[in-house]
Amino acid sequence: LTRDRNHPMLNRSISGIYPPGSTYKALVALAALQEGVVTPGTTFFCPGYLEFGGRRYRCWRDHGHGSVAVSNAIIQSCDVYFYQCGLRLGVDRLAHWVKAFGLGEKTGVGMPAESAGLIPTSWWKKQAMGVPWQKGETLSIAIGQGFVATTPLQMTLAYAAIANDGKVWQPHVVRRIEGHGPDEVEEIKGRLKNRIPIDQKHFDVVKRGLFGVVASNQGTAHAIRDKNIAIAGKT
C-alpha cells in the first residue's frame, strides 16, 4: 500500500494540496469588493481572452462572455473578469484577504500530516526563488492556478465562512469524549477562529452569484438544480 502509485494511504482531504481553480474566484471577488477595486456594478468585457504582456490569457469559454459584472462573472465563471480583479488587487492584497479565510495555514483539525498549502506573496517568491513576482503570475492565481495550493478541507471551511458571512469556525473530528461514567464526558464545543472584516453587503453580492451558479440557466452548475432544495455552489 505504501508503494502504490495511487497513494491510497494519503488522506487527501487534509494532506493533499491542489490548485483550487475556479472555486477561488468567490474569494477573489470578496477581496476586490472589499478593497474597492470593483463595485457590484463594475463591468469588464470578455472576448474570450485578455491581452497582457504580449500574450493572450484565455477564458475557458472561447467566444467569451461579453460584458459581465461580479455576480454574473461568478455565475458564468468568467476568467477574464477575475484576471482584471487580480491585476487591480495585486498579489499581496489578494493574499491578505484569502489568508483571513484560513488558507495557507493548517486548520488544526487534530489529525496527523495535515498540509498548510500555499498562498503566495511577492515576499514568498523572492525568498523561495530569488526572483521578483511577475504581474502575469497574478493573473494565474486570480483564477486559482499558478502557485496557489489548498487542501479540500481548507476550501470547505472557506466556503462555510462565506455562508456564515465571514465567521471561520474551528473544525473538529471528535464530537465528544466519553469515560466510564456519566460524569466523564467532555463535549467538544464550537469555537470561532476568526471573523473576517468584509462588509455584509459584499457577502450578499457573492452569495447571490454562488446561488446563481446553480439556479440560473447561465450558471455553470445548473445541471444539479433541484426544485426542492436551494443550492449555492461553484464549479
Active site (annotated) includes residue 122: no
Of 13, 15, 22, 216, the catalytic one is 22
Of 35, 33, 101, 36, residue with least CA distance to 71? 33
Q: Bridge partners of 72? A: none
- Give how far the C-alpha of residue 171 lies from the chain's centroid of Cα atoms, to the nearest Å: 17
Burial 167-185 (b: 16+ CB within 10 A, else e): ebebbeeeeeeeeeeeeee
- CA proximity to 118, closest of 196, 30, 19: 19
Write phi, then psi, for 31 (nearest 5 degrees).
Answer: -65, -45
Question: Residue 118 has which C-alpha cell?
Answer: 500555499
Mapped onto helix, strand or coil, the DSSP state of residue 186 is: strand
Determine phi and psi for 70, rounding to 5 degrees: -65, -45
DSSP string, 66-92: EEE-HHHHHHHT-HHHHHHHHHHH-HH
Q: Which residues are catalytic?
A: 22
